[in-house]
Amino acid sequence: MKLFLLLLASAVVPALLPSRYLATFVLLGLTATVTVGVSLLMGYAGQVSLGQAAFYAIGAYGAGLLSVHGLPPLAGLLAAPVIAAAAAVLLGAPLLRLRGHHLAFATLAVQLILLSLLSQGTWAGGAIGLQGIPRFSVGGWEAVSDLTYAYLALAALGLVLLISHNVVRSRAGRGLRASASSEMAAAAGGVPVGAYRLAVFALSAAFAGLAGGVYAFYLGYLSPGSFPVLLSIEFVVMAVVGGLGTLTGPLVGATVIVLLVQVLNTLGTQPGMPTYAPSVLSYAVYALLLIVAVRYLPHGMVPALDRLSSRIRRPSQAGVPAESPGPSRGRPPSEAASPHEGLSSETALPSHARPSLVARSPFLARLPFLARLPFRARRSHPVREINRRSDETDRESRRRHG
Amino acid sequence: MAAGAALAVTGAARAFGGVYAVRDVDLAVEPGELRAVIGPNGAGKSTLFALIGGQLAPDAGTVTLDGTRIDRLPAYRRARLGVGVVFQAARVFAGMTVLENVMVGAHSSTRAGFVAAAMRLPSHHRTEREIRTRAFSCLERTGIVSWASRPASSLPLGQQRALQLARALCGRPRLLLLDEPASGLRAGERERLAALLLDLRAEGLTMLLVEHDVGFVMRLADRVTVLDLGQVIADGTPAQVRADTRVITAYLGASA
């Protein structure tokens, strides 16, 4: 509910903003829309995509190409999420067999392939880009002003949040969260883990595709350069900085980082600043702030704020560790229960065997693909897992009986 | 294969790295029976459990549930056919409440997917209501209803076991598999578990109990199957098994 009040409050922002800031607002709304999908994928399904900008691009080019070839823009906008989701299903069916960092790198590869296809293909305008995309229109009404696009972006964000909210609190959503925690137990409860992973991958791609559609009509021009790999990584960073496992997290993460980048850009291009200022500021300060976030807000900003506010509200329980972190936030305390499928390898390894940064930072340990880089002492396999379990059982029994 | 058996395992074999953990195992559990599988260390109990539950596929042999072959099906399909599983390790879903954990168990016997949920269709609301009611009744049965809104990972071991049992029951299983449900429980918890299992048997639920605690098993089970080195060495009522000399040497003798 808090979330929708926040959204409602942000609906008055574009009307009050000076028009030169509206472009940033549109960008922010679209970025947040994509990040909600990334957060759903990472926080609730335990999967990482390092190629989410590819689906953003697919939606944008899909909507752009359809309307350039004479279809009404509304049809293009509606088709954008469908095309992106269909692409995700086609790609995901083989990719989701891969786990952890394999999936992350495979999605990254998908984006690189897509970018080279787009810059080679004359049908997509090649490296110059796709031009002449009409303005968004429905019937006789045409969206011209930035203000209209600001509300269009906000509507996309609201829709995506509503869908995420509904999915998370449902039978399917529980199945997803369960499979991220223990695949074996979820399957034993009847959850088709693979199919659900594919579904949420497609859903997150649809969100990106929808944002891409709005982007295409807003700019009227698309080029492969607008969808760099760095953008995909930025989506992941926003989701993590905001806080995984919450719906407000991606909003906060996207807002903070988009605004930060804008402020740094403005600062760097002030008259009197040295010529290298923009790049130093946008990379160095950005990196520094990320490190600070990693160090001091390991679970992201929203969970940290939640904890702070609950501490203020109930000062007597401030010292009780089990009370302060919410159940869906923070690191699951009983990861030890599922050593071969958990999100982190912390329990599977002696601490000295792990790289110090990953070991010391719960933030990094939460990125499943990092935790699964080959620092593990042994890779688990269901068979080995069962052997290990029965070994332990037998040892325990021997102790009891012998 | 015995006619009319609820669960029939024939010629089941599974090897790990060339060593058979389970070999030529035949097992027929009658409807409504509470069957226990016991055996000394490394007898293949957990492997047999996983072959029936679907965590492992057999190298050879068949597993049938009420006449339907299930040995090649993935675990979630077996769950939909009515196989409920309680693992020995406390595999609760961290980051979810106790109630939500149990509601996941209803997956196997309900529908309503992403689209219905995203659009909040009437079918979604109907399913949610049904699942919630069912989950509460399962929590009541296992005595942890007062923990319903707590994070599942905050429960002590005994309650986590009860939670797993509630989750399995929420799927309305035809066959309930339990892997050492009594291990690590305190005496009182053990008594409550025994009473619940007897209740479930009285309702006609077929159960297969893999257990190391011989005393617990002999008191509860209708029949006992004894495994040693991956093979069945005895099969009969608790009294028959207790008197079997092979069992005494292989199992009781070995650990006494």
- Residues of A with Cβ-Cβ distance to B213 under 8 angstroms: 400
Q: Both B151 and B177 in a single domain?
A: no
Give how far A190 is from chain B: nearest CA, Å.
4
Inter-chain residue contact B94 with A333, CB threshold 8 Å: yes
Q: Crossing angle for the helix pair A301-313 and A248-268, nearest 10 degrees? A: 110
The CATH number of whichever domain residue B202 belongs to comes to: 3.40.50.300
* Rounded Cα–Cα distance for residues A129 and A120 (Å): 10
- Residues of A with Cβ-Cβ distance to B92 under 8 angstroms: 181-182, 185, 334, 337
Q: Both B78 and B104 in a single domain?
A: no
Q: Both B133 and B253 in a single domain?
A: no
Q: Evaluate whether residue B22 is within a structural domain.
A: yes
Last residue of a domain, one of B125, B142, B170: B170
Inter-chain residue contact A333 with B104, CB threshold 8 Å: no
Q: Evaluate whether residue B88 is within a structural domain.
A: no
- Residues of B with Cβ-Cβ distance to A394 under 8 angstroms: 41-42
Give the number of beta-carbon pairs within 8 Å between A and B. 172
Contacts of residue A49, Cβ cutoff 8 Å, sequence gap at least 6: A38, A41, A103, A104, A107, A201, A204, A232, A236
Task: Give me the amino acid identity at B95.
Answer: G
pLDDT tens sequence across B109-125: 777 778 888 888 888 88
Q: Evaluate whether residue B61 is within a structural domain.
A: yes
User: What are the φ and ψ backbone dihedral angles of B231, each rounded to 5 degrees?
Assistant: -125, 155
Closest residue to A188, CB basis, from B53, B90, B96 = B53
Last residue of a domain, one of B148, B170, B192: B170
Q: Evaluate whether residue B51 is within a structural domain.
A: yes
Inter-chain residue contact A192 with B167, CB threshold 8 Å: no
Q: Both B178 and B255 in a single domain?
A: yes
Task: Give me the amino acid identity at A209.
Answer: G
Instruction: Please write down the HEC assignment for all residues of chain B.
Output: CCCCCCEEEEEEEEEECCEEEEEEEEEEECCCCEEEEECCCCCCHHHHHHHHHCCCCCCEEEEEECCEECCCCCHHHHHHHCEEEECCCCCCCCCCEHHHHHHHHHHHHCCCCHHHHHCCCHHHHHHHHHHHHHHHHHHHHCCCHHHCCCEHHHCCHHHHHHHHHHHHHHCCCCEEEEECCCCCCCHHHHHHHHHHHHHHHHCCCEEEEECCCHHHHHHHCCEEEEEECCEEEEEECHHHHHHCHHHHHHHHHHHC
Q: Evaluate whether residue B87 is within a structural domain.
A: no
Contact of A138 with A77, CB cutoff 8 Å: no
How many domains are there within chain B?
Answer: 2
Q: Which of B55, B70, B93 to probe by mutation at the A interface, max A CB count within 10 Å?
A: B93
Distances (CA, A) of A239 to A249, A304, A381: 7, 14, 30
Q: What is the ipTM of this complex?
A: 0.88
Q: Both B144 and B200 in a single domain?
A: no
- Residues of A with Cβ-Cβ distance to B153 under 8 angstroms: 332-334, 337
The count of residues in chain A is: 402
Name the residue of chain B whose CA is nearest to A338's CA: B91
- Residues of B with Cβ-Cβ distance to A171 under 8 angstroms: 103, 106-107, 110, 112-113, 117, 124, 127-128, 131
Q: List the Cα angle A337/B165/B159 in 5-degree steps.
A: 60
- Structural domain including B39 reads 1-82+173-256
Inter-chain residue contact A393 with B151, CB threshold 8 Å: no
Instruction: Please write down the HEC assignment for all residues of chain A.
Output: CHHHHHHHHHCCHHHHCCHHHHHHHHHHHHHHHHHHHHHHHHHHCCCCCCCHHHHHHHHHHHHHHHHHCCCCHHHHHHHHHHHHHHHHHHHHHHHCCCCHHHHHHHHHHHHHHHHHHHHHCHHHCCCCCEECCCCCEECCEECCCHHHHHHHHHHHHHHHHHHHHHHHCCHHHHHHHHHHHCHHHHHHCCCCHHHHHHHHHHHHHHHHHHHHHHHHHHHCEECHHHCCHHHHHHHHHHHHHHCCCCCHHHHHHHHHHHHHHHHHHHHHCCCCCCCCHHHHHHHHHHHHHHHHHHHHCCCCHHHHHHHHHHHHHCHHHCCCCCCCCCCCCCCCCCHHHCCCCCCCCHHHCCHHHCCHHHHHCHHHHHCHHHHCCCCCCCCCCHHHHHHHHHHHHHHHHHHHHC
- Retrieve residue A232's tokens: 């995909």
Q: Crossing angle for the helix pair A22-39 and A146-168, nearest 10 degrees? A: 20
* Rounded Cα–Cα distance for residues A124 and A57 (Å): 11
User: What are the φ and ψ backbone dihedral angles of B50, each rounded to 5 degrees?
Assistant: -70, -30
Q: What is the pLDDT of residue A293?
A: 78
Q: Between the CA atoms of A196, A199, A205 and A211, what dihedral angle is there, to the nearest 10 degrees? A: -110
* pLDDT tens, chain B, 256 aa long: 445 678 999 989 999 888 889 899 999 999 999 999 998 878 888 899 999 999 998 999 999 999 899 999 999 999 999 999 999 887 889 889 999 999 998 888 777 778 888 888 888 888 889 999 999 999 999 988 999 999 998 888 888 999 999 999 999 999 999 998 888 888 888 899 999 999 999 999 999 999 888 888 888 999 999 988 888 988 989 888 888 888 877 765 554 4
Q: Both B164 and B243 in a single domain?
A: no
Q: What is the pLDDT of residue A389?
A: 53
Site of tokens 């099906």: B73
Contact of A222 with A61, CB cutoff 8 Å: yes
Q: Both B178 and B164 in a single domain?
A: no
Q: Both B76 and B100 in a single domain?
A: no
- Residues of A with Cβ-Cβ distance to B126 under 8 angstroms: none
Contacts of residue A206, Cβ cutoff 8 Å, sequence gap at least 6: A37, A81, A82, A84, A85, A88
Name the residue of chain A whose CA is nearest to B99's CA: A174
- Residues of B with Cβ-Cβ distance to A181 under 8 angstroms: 92-96
User: What are the φ and ψ backbone dihedral angles of B227, each rounded to 5 degrees?
Assistant: -105, 145
Closest residue to A191, CB basis, from B45, B104, B124 = B104
* pLDDT tens, chain A, 402 aa long: 667 777 777 788 888 888 888 888 999 999 999 999 999 998 888 888 899 999 999 999 999 999 989 889 899 999 999 999 999 999 888 877 777 678 888 899 999 999 999 988 888 887 788 888 888 888 878 888 888 899 999 999 999 999 999 998 888 889 999 988 888 899 998 999 888 889 999 999 999 999 999 999 999 889 998 898 888 988 998 998 888 878 888 999 999 888 888 888 888 888 888 888 877 777 777 777 778 877 888 788 888 888 888 777 765 544 444 433 334 433 333 333 333 333 333 333 333 333 334 444 555 555 555 544 444 333 444 445 555 555 555 555 555 554
Q: What is the pLDDT of residue B34?
A: 93
Q: Both B76 and B2 in a single domain?
A: yes
Q: Both B4 and B76 in a single domain?
A: yes
Inter-chain residue contact A390 with B47, CB threshold 8 Å: yes
- Retrieve residue A16's tokens: 């009050």
Last residue of a domain, one of B126, B143, B170: B170
Q: Both B21 and B77 in a single domain?
A: yes
